[in-house]
């Protein structure tokens, strides 16, 4: 498949937690708490992109990238440069998982060379520019928001990519994990292979088992989206017991507490507070991040050169010297 046929649709969700991406996305779809990204081909998308770019009444926006711009965007996304916490590593794992889920389908064949190239070049950019940026991860920021290493009983809600990322930072505590599918929680524990240094208990999936821990846990981290039905009971349990035990509630499934059952409750933080903490330590990382963005753009230009030469889709035989000549010709 030619690079010019590569299409990426980036749907940014609105600030409201219940704002969802439009239905009907095809191709390889990467879903995070803040966006949905569709990686597809020009043949697959057909006339569906006629209304793009677009911003709806709720503030959700949809952008369309094609060719080298699409590949450059994917590099920025995979290296964490498009994330709210710039440079974070979780998005790369989400992209790899989305591709693993999709690559066995027939529609995946045209995308395979470009996705393989993306995964390899993401590792190169991260290794050279992004590693060592500091604690720009959800796990390290979670620990800082908790005031250091958690103590006593800690409840972790969820067993997805975000929960798996935070899990190693909850070492040394009496950790309870609740997920509606306990098998996913056990799989997360097995995959993490973390040195916890404390006890870990996977709870029964029912709400009663979860609420029993809400009443005794010191710290609670929510890594699932807002749930209007369950959140009322959760908020009541926190309200009844938070003052006596201290600790903090981190709801990482919503941007802010306004409009949720947790609004106005003591010691509650959301993604907004996490992003504010991130911003306070971001200054010294700006230069490296700018170099990483430049590397994404340069690699996309090299991909364009390879494609123009008719080389095998996704392969690379041009080097930085070729790019320098190309850029000089464009400038001239």
The DSSP string of 298-322 is HHHHHHHHHHHTTPPTT-----HHH
Contact between 107 and 27 (Cβ < 8 Å): yes
Contact between 136 and 84 (Cβ < 8 Å): no
Q: Do 152 and 49 lie in a common domain?
A: no
Domain boundary (258, 280, 302) is at 280
pLDDT at 198: 64
Domain-embedded: residue 320 = no
Domain-embedded: residue 142 = yes
Domain-embedded: residue 263 = yes
Tokens of 267: 């010691």
Q: Do 244 and 213 lie in a common domain?
A: yes
pLDDT at 23: 44
Contact between 222 and 252 (Cβ < 8 Å): yes
Q: Do 126 and 152 lie in a common domain?
A: no
Using a 10 angstrom Cβ sphere, with 0-12 exposed, 13-18 middle and 19 or more buried, the burial of residue 23 is exposed
Domain-embedded: residue 183 = yes
- Report the CATH number at residue 238: 3.40.50.720
Domain-embedded: residue 299 = no
Domain-embedded: residue 328 = no
- Report the CATH number at residue 108: 3.30.460.30
Q: Do 86 and 168 lie in a common domain?
A: no
Q: Do 99 and 64 lie in a common domain?
A: yes
pLDDT at 17: 43
Whole-angstrom Cα distance, residue 103 to residue 120?
Answer: 16
Q: Do 271 and 142 lie in a common domain?
A: yes
Q: Do 37 and 110 lie in a common domain?
A: yes
Q: Do 242 and 110 lie in a common domain?
A: no
Domain boundary (245, 265, 280) is at 280
pLDDT at 289: 82
Q: Do 76 and 173 lie in a common domain?
A: no
pLDDT at 52: 64
Please state the domain count of the chain.
2
Handedness of CA 312, 316, 321, 324 (dihedral sign): positive
Share of the chain residues as helix, strand and coil, in percent rounded to the nearest 5: 50, 15, 35
pLDDT at 4: 92
Q: Do 45 and 165 lie in a common domain?
A: no
Residue 10, CA distances (Å) to 13, 30, 52, 133, 306 in order: 10, 10, 10, 26, 25
pLDDT at 122: 95
Mean pLDDT by 10 residues, the chain (332 residues): 92 60 68 89 70 69 92 95 84 94 90 95 89 70 85 92 90 89 91 66 94 93 92 93 81 93 94 88 73 92 84 54 48 46
Range of the domain at 194: 138-280
Whole-angstrom Cα distance, residue 52 to residue 62?
Answer: 7
- What values do phi and psi take at 39, rounded to 5? -105, 120
Length of the chain as a residue count: 332
Domain boundary (111, 133, 155) is at 133
Q: Do 38 and 111 lie in a common domain?
A: yes
Q: Do 53 and 164 lie in a common domain?
A: no
Helices (H), 146-285: 161-166, 182-192, 207-214, 228-245, 271-280
Domain-embedded: residue 210 = yes
């Amino acid at each position: 498949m030619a690079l010019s046929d590569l299409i990426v649709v980036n749907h940014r969700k609105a600030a409201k937690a219940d704002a969802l991406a439009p239905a009907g996305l095809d191709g390889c779809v990467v879903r995070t708490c803040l966006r949905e990204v569709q990686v597809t081909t020009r043949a697959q998308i057909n006339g569906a992109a006629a209304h793009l770019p677009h911003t709806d009444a709720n503030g959700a926006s949809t952008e369309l990238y094609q060719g080298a711009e699409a590949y450059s965007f994917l590099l920025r996304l995979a290296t964490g440069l498009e994330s709210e916490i710039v440079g974070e590593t979780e998005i790369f794992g989400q992209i790899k998982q989305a591709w693993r889920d999709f690559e066995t389908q027939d529609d995946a064949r045209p995308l395979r060379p470009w996705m393989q190239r993306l995964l390899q070049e993401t590792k190169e950019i991260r290794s050279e520019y992004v590693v060592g940026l500091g604690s720009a991860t959800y796990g390290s920021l979670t620990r800082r928001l908790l005031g250091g290493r958690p103590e006593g009983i800690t409840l972790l809600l969820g067993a997805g990519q975000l929960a798996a990322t935070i899990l190693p930072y909850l070492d040394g505590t009496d950790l309870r994990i609740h997920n509606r599918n306990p098998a996913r929680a056990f799989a997360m524990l097995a995959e993490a292979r973390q040195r916890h240094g404390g006890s870990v208990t996977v709870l029964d999936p029912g709400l009663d088992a979860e609420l029993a821990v809400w009443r005794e846990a010191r710290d609670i981290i929510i890594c699932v989206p807002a749930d209007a039905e369950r959140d009322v009971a959760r908020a009541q349990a926190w309200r009844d017991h938070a003052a006596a035990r201290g600790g903090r509630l981190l709801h990482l499934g919503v941007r802010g507490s306004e409009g949720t059952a947790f609004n106005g409750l003591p010691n509650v933080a959301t993604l907004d507070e996490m992003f504010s903490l991130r911003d306070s330590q971001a200054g010294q990382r700006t230069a490296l991040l700018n170099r990483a963005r430049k590397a994404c753009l340069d690699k996309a230009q090299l991909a364009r050169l390879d494609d123009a030469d008719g080389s095998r889709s996704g392969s690379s035989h041009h080097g930085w010297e070729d790019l320098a000549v190309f850029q000089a010709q464009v400038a001239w």
